[in-house]
């Protein structure tokens, strides 16, 4: 079993490949794609460019607001523009960013390519494992 800690790069804990949707996809189709791929969010593209994110939360809000899932399109309910993070960013830095800005998912890029998705669950699992595995420092014990 490979261990990962919060100083490791995001690329070690992200989900890959990333699920992608087009802006013109209906909400019903988008929900089916998320369910089929067993993910909580997808990146949204228009003409090949990253323009947003669609999450389960976006879909729930759309349904609660009365959008018809067979008519409404991803572009009308997606969150955007996304804030991609670099694949070589340390997990601790990505976790801090996610908590500070209340993000649950972030697209991960390597140069111009989207290479994965980091979920808050992935990030916090690593951060929590650090706390469990790391022995307390001598200063903490003495202190």
pLDDT digits (tens, 9 = 90+) for 26-50: 999 999 999 999 999 999 999 999 9
Q: Is residue 141 assigned to a domain?
A: no
Strands 105-110 and 113-119: antiparallel
Q: Is residue 4 assigned to a domain?
A: no
Please tell me the pTM assigned to this model.
Answer: 0.81
**Total structural domains within the chain:** 1
The distance from CA 12 to its chain's CA centroid, rounded to whole angstroms, is 14
Q: Is residue 2 assigned to a domain?
A: no
The whole domain housing 96 covers: 10-135
- 46-84 pLDDT, tens per residue? 999 999 999 999 999 999 999 999 999 999 999 989 999
DSSP string computed for 47-116 = TTEEEEEEEHHHHHHHHHTT--TTT-BHHHH-B-S---EETTSBHHHHHHHHHHHT-SEEEEEETTEEEE
CATH code for the domain of 37: 3.10.580.10
Q: Token digits for 62? A: 């759309």
């Amino acid at each position: 079993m490979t261990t990962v800690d919060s100083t490791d790069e995001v690329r070690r804990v992200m989900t890959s490949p990333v699920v992608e949707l087009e802006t013109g996809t209906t909400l019903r189709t988008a929900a089916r794609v998320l369910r089929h791929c067993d993910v909580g969010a997808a990146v949204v593209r228009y003409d090949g460019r990253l323009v947003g994110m669609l999450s389960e939360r976006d879909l729930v809000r759309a349904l609660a607001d009365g959008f018809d899932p067979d008519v409404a399109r991803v572009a009308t309910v997606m969150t955007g523009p996304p804030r991609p993070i670099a694949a070589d960013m340390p997990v601790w830095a990505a976790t801090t960013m996610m908590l500070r800005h209340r993000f649950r998912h972030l697209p991960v890029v390597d140069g111009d390519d989207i290479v994965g998705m980091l979920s808050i669950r992935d990030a916090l699992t690593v951060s929590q494992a650090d706390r469990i595995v790391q022995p307390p420092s001598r200063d903490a014990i003495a202190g």
